[in-house]
Amino acid sequence: MIKAFTENNRLMALLIILLIVAGLGSLATLPRTEDPRITNRIASVLTVLPGASAERVEALVTEKIEQKLRKLADINRITSTSRPGISIVQLKLHDTITDPVPVWSRVRDLLNDVTSELPPAAVAPRLEDDRGYAYTQLIAVKWQGDSAVDLTTLGRYGKELQNQLKVVAGTDIVSLFGRGEEQILVEIDKHLAANLSLSTQAISNIILAADAKVSAGNIINDYNQMQIEVAGSFDSVERIRQIPLLNDSHGGVVRLGDIANVSKKLQWPAQEIALVDGQYAVVVSTRMLPNLRIDKWSAKVDDVVAAFNQQLPYSLTTEVLFDQSQYTEDRLQDLVDNILIGFSIIAVVLLVTLGWRAALIVTLSLPLTVLFTLTVMNYYGLPIHQMSVTGLVVALGIMVDNAIVMADTIQKRRQQGLTASAAVQGAVKHLWLPLLGSTLTTILAFADSNDARTIG
């Protein structure tokens, strides 16, 4: 087989052309990300119990959650921390778990079951199992100008940008940070309420009963089934002001707006605040799905943000705080630069030591190795990221060593009077096993360290 390959120049040229085409095609289609996706086997369960001491949180919340979750054999270790008002239970799965998604689903089911056993004031437990990956882009919606910052307007435009980014193809999640929660504030005049013999609780019950959100029945015939709803649900502040509290026999009506100031404001103190350059802002964080090209996905996001900027009033602006595609581009450019530098150094050194033929052959082996590696990566579905790029640089170093050894051996056999074909065949038969052994040693060493990183 070696003889047929070395003596058939057309076959050799055809294989090299196929390798070049396949490598360039793989480079154009391979997914590109900054970091590899690592199997996440660690999660946290957060439960809030307002006003409770650490001891009460431990007894009423943490212990019950731990007992419920110990039923899962897939969980390797459970640790917990109880602080005033909050319980944190950390979970770690066994290293043998390769797909943790079904396990986290069972954990959520158990948490739903244990919710009924917790105190009524406790907030339902929340499983945090998706914190291991960085966002691909961070976009801030900021206030500009000298006027006072309107957090309500910032929040609404931030929400609109979030909704637009959710429909971008390839988007995994879109989160919004720094947006205040809007609420309806009813400030009752205590003196007027006392004169009408209305307590705060009574007014609260009347407001609750006035919000028509439930079905009033169904109309069913042979062809249709329609639901009846009572008009009058809360759709505006004015609708709340018009809630009747009292009426008399003469037709007089006392409404909520007569004894209370009803306004729409942001909840304060805010649960979270986002600051950009020391100023209030909202930050829209988006992350793409794995196995996509980050440059193409980021271009779609940039188009959406550019169109969104056209809708903004003059007092608002957007700023890209972080764009992962730029880091990915820089790493790929570093790879190209390293390869070019390697070409130059190897060519110069070999030109001096082995002559121009050996220098040309060894130098050409570098791009062919890169293209072959990209083809194999495309076949196995491995994306281009910082780990694969690092491995590619290491592989180039190994292949250069092998190419130098092989070229030097062939050249010596040629100097002994052998033909080109016989020199190549003899060198391959003599060196293939030692070179394969040294290469496999390095491959297995990196494979072992990669497994340890992924499992941990």
Domain 2-30+354-455 has CATH 1.20.1640.10: yes
Q: Angle at the Cα of 351 (from 350 to 357), degrees rounded to 5?
A: 90
- State yes or no: pLDDT of 107 exceeds 60: yes
CB 137, CB 304: distance < 8 Å: no
Mean pLDDT, residues 20-24 taken together: 88
| 49 pLDDT higher than 80 | yes
Name the token pair of 326: 């730029």
End-to-end alpha carbon distance in the chain = 45
Backbone φ/ψ region at 283: left (φ over 0), alpha (ψ -120 to 50), beta? beta
pLDDT number for residue 215: 61
Q: Percentage of the chain surpassing pLDDT 70?
A: 89
Fold of 42-128: Alpha-Beta Plaits (3.30.70)
Average pLDDT over residues 48-75: 89
The Cα–Cα gap between 265 and 152 comes to: 8
CATH topology of domain 137-181+269-323: Alpha-Beta Plaits (3.30.70)
SS3 of 156-204: HHHHHHHHHHHCCCCEEEEEEECCCCEEEEEEECHHHHHHCCCCHHHHH
The two tokens of residue 10 are 């057309």
- The two tokens of residue 378 are 């495309």
The tokens for 140 are 């801030």
Distance CA 288, CA 292 (A): 8
Task: Give the span between the Cα atoms of 203 and 188, in whole angstroms.
Answer: 9
Identity at 380, one-letter amino acid code? Y
Q: What is the pLDDT of residues 180-231, one digit of tens each?
A: 777 777 878 787 777 777 788 887 887 777 766 656 677 787 777 777 766 6
The answer on pLDDT for 450 being more than 80 is no
Q: Which of 287, 234, 220 is nearest to 262 (CA)?
A: 234
> Are the beta carbons of 289 and 170 closer than 8 angstroms?
yes
> Where does 186-260 sit in CATH, by number?
3.30.2090.10
Where does the pLDDT of residue 383 fall: very low under 50, low under 70, confident under 90, or very high at 90 and above?
confident
Higher pLDDT, 130 or 28: 28
CA neighbor of 373 nearest in space, from 11, 92, 27:
27
Average pLDDT on 271-289 reads: 83
pLDDT level of residue 287 (50, 70, 90 thresholds):
confident
Higher pLDDT, 277 or 230: 277
For 252, the 3-state DSSP assignment is coil
Task: Using pLDDT thresholds of 50, 70 and 90, give the confidence band for residue 24.
Answer: confident
Q: Is 105 exposed, middle or buried (0-12, 13-18, 19+ CB in 10 A)?
A: exposed
Closest alpha carbon to 157 in 333, 296, 343, 309: 309
Burial class of 343 by CB neighbour count within 10 A (0 to 12, 13 to 18, 19+):
middle
User: pLDDT digit string (tens) for 72-101?
Assistant: 888 889 998 999 989 999 999 888 888 888
Q: Where are the beta strands (DSSP E) in 253-374?
A: 253-255, 260-266, 274-276, 279-288, 316-323
| Contact (CB, 8 A) for 92 and 77 | yes
For residue 252, give both structure tokens: 């007089």
pLDDT in tens, 399-410: 777 888 888 888
| CA distance readout (Å), 370 to 20, 388, 407, 449 | 10, 12, 19, 22
Residues 147-172 pLDDT 10s: 777 777 888 888 899 899 998 888 88
Fold equal for 42-128 and 137-181+269-323: yes
Rounded Cα gap, residues 101 and 99, in angstroms: 6
Q: Give the residue among 29, 203, 42, 33 at the shortest CA–CA distance from 127.
A: 42
The CA distances from residue 195 to 58, 202, 252, 343, in Å, are 47, 14, 16, 92
pLDDT digits (tens, 9 = 90+) for 28-45: 888 777 777 777 788 899
Domain residue spans of the chain: 2-30+354-455, 42-128, 137-181+269-323, 186-260
Q: Which residues, other chains included, contact 105 with Cβ-Cβ below 8 Å and sequence gap of 6+? A: none
Q: Tell me which DSSP letter residue 32 carries.
A: B
Give the model's pLDDT for residue 233.
Answer: 63
At 453, the pLDDT band (50, 70, 90 cuts) reads: very low
User: In this model, does residue 295 exceed pLDDT 80?
Assistant: yes
Mean pLDDT on 371-378: 85
262: its two tokens: 């009803």
